[in-house]
Amino acid sequence: MHLNHVFVGPASTALIVFLHEGLGSIPQWKSYPVDLCNALNVRGLVYDRTGYGRSSGSLADRKPDYLHQAANELSQIIESIKADFDQIILYGHSDGGSIALIAAAELKNQITALITEAAHVFVEPETIKGVREARPLFHEGLFDGLKKYHGDRYKEVFFAWNDIWLTPAFAEWDITHLLSKVHCPQLIIQGKDDQYGTLKQVDTIARFTKGKTQTLVLDQCGHAPHKEQKSSVLTSAVSFIESIC
């Protein structure tokens, strides 16, 4: 299996692994990983998960445990590179944030810290509403921009995300029970206007994880804080990582 990836930032013994959202890919992060890593003088790894972007694989027939499968993929990546780094920080957006939490619970002492943006740890009615409302917008062409990043697979990428969140089986998805296994420091970021989740996600993560937790809740911000409030998010992320590295 080929995973498209890129290393950014200067040579360092500290590494930030960036985990994209459910419709994401490397270039959809824009300049954010480079800007963060350069500000901190650390290395960054950005990759397309299986079936996304320029990575091989398929997202067809997705199962409710798809986020756990992605966390297993991440664990394999970390296993292959951990000898080169003294500190590994996970930075996940949306689905990527959930994956980061699952991986941090499983890998425990191998993860130095984590940052999440708009992570989900259980399914909310607001999430289902947001996902359902995206479907007609896709048919109206508002997601055609995904072609640039995923090519002919852009429909598969969209419906893999959209379909699974609307299935009755996924309505029971909940990783709250894993949070007590997360012992590393965390920065939990959420926009107040996120159409896919509420601040209950932030409160639950902060309550049940065991590591020292900082939260950043942003006004006039939706589902992508690093794009919508880049300056504030970048400043907070730099400060957080400098405090632990």
The 10s digit of each residue's pLDDT in 61-87 is 999 999 999 999 999 999 999 999 999
Residue type, 77: I
Query: Structure pTM?
Result: 0.97
Q: Name, in order, each residue with C-beta under 8 angstroms of 230's C-beta and a sequence gap of 6 or more.
A: 32
The secondary structure of 143-154, three-state, reads CHHHHHHHHHHH
Q: What percent of the chain has pLDDT over 70?
A: 100
Instruction: Report whether pLDDT(245) > 90.
Output: no
**Residue whose pair of structure tokens reads 């990836």 in the numeric block:** 5
* Beta-strand pair 14-19/43-47: parallel
Q: Domain 5-244: give its CATH superfamily.
A: Alpha/Beta hydrolase fold, catalytic domain (3.40.50.1820)
pLDDT digits (tens, 9 = 90+) for 120-143: 999 999 999 999 999 999 999 999
Q: How many CA atoms lie within 13 A of 2 on its CB side?
A: 6
Burial class (CB in 10 A: 0-12, 13-18, 19+), 128: middle
Q: Where are the domains of the chain?
A: 5-244
